[in-house]
A = this chain, B = another copy of it.
Amino acid sequence: MLNFEFKNPTKIIFGKGEISKISREIPKTEKILVLYGGGSIKTNGVYDQVKAALEGYNWEEFGGIPANPEYEVLLEALKIIKEKNITYMLAVGGGSVIDGVKFLSAAANYEGEPWDILKNGIRTEEGKGLPFASVLTLPATGSEMNSGAVISRREIGQKLGMGGPGLFPQFSILDPEVIRSIPKKQIANGITDAYTHVLEQYMTVKTSATLQDRFAESILQTLQEIAPKMMEEEFDYDSAANFMWSCTMALNGLIQKGVISDWAIHGIGHELTAQFGIDHARTLAIIAPSHYRYNFEAKKEKLAQYAERVWNVTEGTTEEKALKGIEKMEAFFQSLGIKTKLSEYTEDYQGTAEKIQEAFIARNWLAIGEKGIVKPEDAKKIVEMAY
């Protein structure tokens, strides 16, 4: 097991009817800015619950934070924060809104040009960000219990990560009831996103970190178990609760401690979103199987462990089990209505592999993934396999 450090101070308030606890957690003296996305919270009842909880507070609101939170939009919110002397932010939304609020938390107390935080990778230390909390409306990214964010700036075609120990939400409210009104397509994306988050931290080499491996496998198995119920028309509270908690645990730092990570699937997937506008989660389902087939030698032992423990594959050699594992994974994504080949999303896929190779070189991503095994020419070949 590798040495590690772990600290996650976010308070999770989980369950039915818990949105009202906002008023217990935020002091009445704070000047609050409530931030949200496209406005679905106004039709699904979440906005009304937040409003009721904020009765007696001094608060403002800022809506319209888009998916892949956009720098220019966030700058407008930053202006309001400064003009209105906001002291506390409440993100009501999914990963995009919460990520956007993390950027604002860092930017509010930053003296220089806000873009520098992203460009120069300036980390926000404990106690240095503007305090914020979240009400999660879309389980997927885990942003509600971690300190990282990804911000886009279309103007210059960039999408950059940021973070730091000062950017954990003070608290996050996870009420599985919010999942009732989420379209099935987004549920499928959320399950795929969380599942791949686990894979990126797990599907590397055989490790001596037995407990972390088993925790990762537990999340994968839970997502597999709840997936069919989540795709049915009827809402099942317990399945929704396990879905929500699995998404959080998939990326709150716990399972990556003491092991090496991969993240090449995300690296390549981001380029497919940039080129074709394919949903983030779907790009992961396109790339993951090809990535594992292409890097089979490096990963076959872990793939076989995955097949054995997560899918109960008991027969065959290590190689046979490993291949079976990849097939099971593909079939799982497909069972959610997620297509796993690029050509199923666009007819215009020829040349994509070369473009991604060039993009990797342009970004100076010369060796990503576990132990740097994915070089630009490997990314090209992986994408070709995913056509």
Contact = CB atoms under 8 A, between A and B. Distances in A.
Stoichiometry, copies per complex: 2
Nearest to A242: B210
Contacts of A18: 3
Contacts of A219: 211, 214
A214 B208 contact: no
Interface of A: 1-18, 171, 176, 208-211, 214-215, 217-219, 221-222, 225-226, 238, 241-242, 245-246, 249, 257-258
Nearest to A207: B238
A6 B11 contact: yes
A226 B238 CA distance: 33
B7 A14 contact: no
A327 B211 CA distance: 24
Given A1-B241, A214-B222, 18 more contacts: A1-B15, A3-B14, A3-B15, A3-B16, A5-B13, A6-B11, A6-B12, A8-B8, A8-B9, A15-B258, A208-B241, A210-B222, A211-B242, A214-B217, A214-B221, A215-B215, A218-B218, A245-B258
A340 B219 CA distance: 34
A226 B221 CA distance: 23
A222 B214 CA distance: 8
Given A208-B242, A210-B242, A7 B12 contact: yes
A242 B213 CA distance: 11
Q: Which of A3, A7, A217 has the most CB of B within 10 A?
A: A3
A145 B1 CA distance: 19
A211 B171 CA distance: 21
Contacts of A238: 1, 208
A84 to B, nearest CB: 28
Contacts of A9: 7-9
A10 B238 CA distance: 30
Nearest to A21: B5
Contact of A5 (B1, B11, B245): B11
Contacts of A8: 8-9
A258 B249 CA distance: 14
A194 to B, nearest CB: 11
Nearest to A219: B211
A313 to B, nearest CB: 15
Given A7-B9, A9-B7, A210-B222, A1 B245 contact: yes
Contact of A210 (B1, B3, B208, B226): B226
Q: Which of A214, A219, A222, A225 has the most CB of B within 10 A?
A: A214
Nearest to A245: B211
Contacts of A3: 14-18
A240 B249 CA distance: 25
Contact of A211 (B1, B2, B214, B218): B218
B10 A7 contact: yes
A341 B257 CA distance: 39
Nearest to A208: B238
